[in-house]
């Protein structure tokens, strides 16, 4: 049952990314181009995602345990530190340069987008390098 629900969740997420245009690097770059051809439509995607997350976090606070798991897997770290700021900056730079973030890139990879293949390979290399540096 857990595998089935994970598949359904991933499918819903993928469809949402496709429908919202998040897998289109040009749409993402247009959203980030504040002084050029700005495309504000992804702001609606972000507001929708934040609304769902807000409701979800509020709702799970009332539950003693998840429906399909033994316990919640929530972040334990709540401090803003230099590794978080550095990681966020690297993420933002990569997102702005490539027009992809990890989730949409994986969906694009599944759809056979050549730019997504390049991005995912670069992302995996970056993850490997980060683990080597942080050790």
Instruction: Calculate the average pLDDT of the chain.
Output: 88
Give residue limits of the domains in the chain. 2-134
Residues 6+ apart with CB under 8 A from 40: 31
Query: What are the respective helix, strand and coil percentages of the chain, to the nearest 5?
Result: 70, 0, 30
Does this model's pTM top 0.85?
A: no
**pLDDT tens readout for residues 89-120:** 988 888 888 888 899 999 999 999 999 999 99
Tokens 């290399």 identify what position?
A: 125
pLDDT-derived band at 85, boundaries 50, 70, 90: very high
């Amino acid at each position: 049952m857990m595998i089935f629900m994970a598949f359904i969740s991933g499918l819903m997420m993928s469809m949402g990314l496709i429908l919202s245009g998040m897998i289109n690097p040009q749409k993402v770059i247009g959203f980030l181009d504040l002084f050029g051809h700005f495309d504000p439509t992804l702001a609606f995607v972000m507001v929708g995602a934040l609304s769902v997350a807000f409701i979800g976090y509020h709702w799970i606070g009332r539950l003693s345990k998840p429906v399909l798991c033994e316990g919640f897997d929530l972040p334990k770290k709540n401090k803003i530190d230099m590794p978080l700021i550095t990681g966020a900056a690297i993420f933002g730079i990569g997102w702005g340069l490539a027009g992809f973030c990890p989730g949409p890139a994986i969906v694009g990879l599944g759809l056979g987008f050549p730019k997504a293949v390049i991005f995912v390979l670069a992302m995996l290399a970056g993850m490997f390098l980060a683990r080597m540096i942080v050790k």
